[in-house]
Amino acid sequence: MSVASETESLRQAALDHLWQHNRDWETAARENEPLIIVGGEGIHVTDSDGRTWIDVSGGYSSVNIGYGRTEIADAAYEQLKQIHYFPQTTANPPTIRLAAKLAELAPGSLSRVFPVSGGSLANETALKIARAYHRRRGDHGRFRIISRRGSYHGATGGVLFLGSIPNAPRTDYEPSPPGMVYAPQPNAYRCELGSQSASDCAVACARAIEDLIRFHGAETVAAVIAEPVASGPGAVMPSPEYWQLLREICDRHGVILIADEVITGFGRTGKMFAVEHMGVVPDIMTLAKGISSSYLPLGATIATEEIAAAFAGEGNHLKHVFTYSGHPVSAAAGLKNIELIQEEGLVAHVAKTGVYLRESLQQLQDRHPLIGDVRGIGFMQSIDLVADRQTRAVHPAEVKLTDRLNTKFKDRGLLLKAHGGHILNLSPPLCTTRENLDEILSGISESLSELETELG
């Protein structure tokens, strides 16, 4: 079978049988997709026709170490040869070592690790810990969870209704579970409270959370969950006082503070964990994606010693299990991934090269009137596209701005998707070099120029 015919055969099989993430097969067929990716190295992947692409998004902001790291494959293989799973009520060496490693890396007294197989399940676990913790303490009325509009915390039933992403309405899955409460997103560029500075927006949005706690009654609020840098609205990183106030507010009202580090963890922001930028220790922290660089499914929920203590003793254990929690092969892959991140200095690399990325994006902003704002940190940066810089208005849906832009990226070999009608997120693998960034930014600039000409 020729390369072309094999590609066509695979593509047709995908169109006939594969239910892909967030797309339908009829649209994919019209666009001669899906691409069939068969190999990768560093930030590049190769499709079944032999064409090479740059994965600007690093998978789902998750391929931190880059593609083609055989060291991780070898670690998984060696573990498979020893023991591939474990009997009930037992533990295994790589999972134990992973828990100990995460406790060593995590800030403050975050030290008790519940391993899972992905970010949604990490956040599901965090919510269950938070609610169960209050019940262990006799606060049976604390069930409400406060999240922020524009944030995303997963797609499973328990966390689906946390936050809200405008371009992904949840009407198919209503009604929502009880206790979902929504606070403003501290996005200084589009502050829904009308603040004119980053600091004012941060303070106003933090105080809005305290207002919600008081309105509903602190005795009914279990937790506040937030990403240190929110990807949904485009790499929103509030001023540090936001998290400092959030910590004070949660302490004042006995509310658990959950930091969702599913995307931001393991070096993406230039620190091992993004809360290190804030100088704050949450009560619970959730991890996934970069924990294994997506080589195998893996995630974790980490609680402080104080929170975990409520679950010690007969009858107090957390009544919670997933079949693949603590899987030894995934744990072995995660351990090797973390080892490579540390040995190769990738966190420091992102801290330094992320500054170059930000400065380069600001230079693009000077050249392209479509760019209203550039924001983010490290290798988690975003472009906010506008129709008018003065009003910050976005293009109407009928312009199909992001669809047109995504096609232009694809024409230039960039796997990069604008979303939400006006947001472009850049989250490349942590091994991305300045030269790689120059190539990516050149393709983005050319695409923007072409689109601006079309728009007049």
Strands (E), 192-244: 221-226
**Residue-level pLDDT, tens digit, the chain, 456 residues:** 677 889 999 999 999 999 999 889 999 999 899 999 999 999 999 999 999 999 999 999 999 999 999 999 999 999 999 999 999 999 999 999 999 999 999 999 999 999 999 999 999 999 999 999 999 999 999 999 999 999 999 999 989 999 987 667 788 898 999 999 999 999 999 999 999 899 999 999 999 999 999 999 999 999 999 999 999 999 999 999 999 999 999 999 999 999 999 999 999 999 999 999 999 999 999 999 999 999 999 999 999 999 999 999 988 999 999 999 999 999 999 999 999 999 999 999 999 999 999 999 999 999 999 999 999 999 999 999 999 999 999 999 999 999 999 999 999 999 999 988 899 999 999 999 999 999 999 999 999 999 999 998
Q: Where in the chain is the domain with CATH 3.90.1150.10?
A: 345-455
Q: Where in the chain is the domain with CATH 3.40.640.10?
A: 71-343
CATH 3.30.420.40 for domain 345-455: no
At the topology level, CATH places domain 71-343 in Aspartate Aminotransferase; domain 2 (3.40.640)
15 is written with which tokens? Answer: 């169109």
Please answer whether residues 277 and 98 qualify as being in contact, where contact means their C-beta atoms are separated by less than 8 angstroms.
no
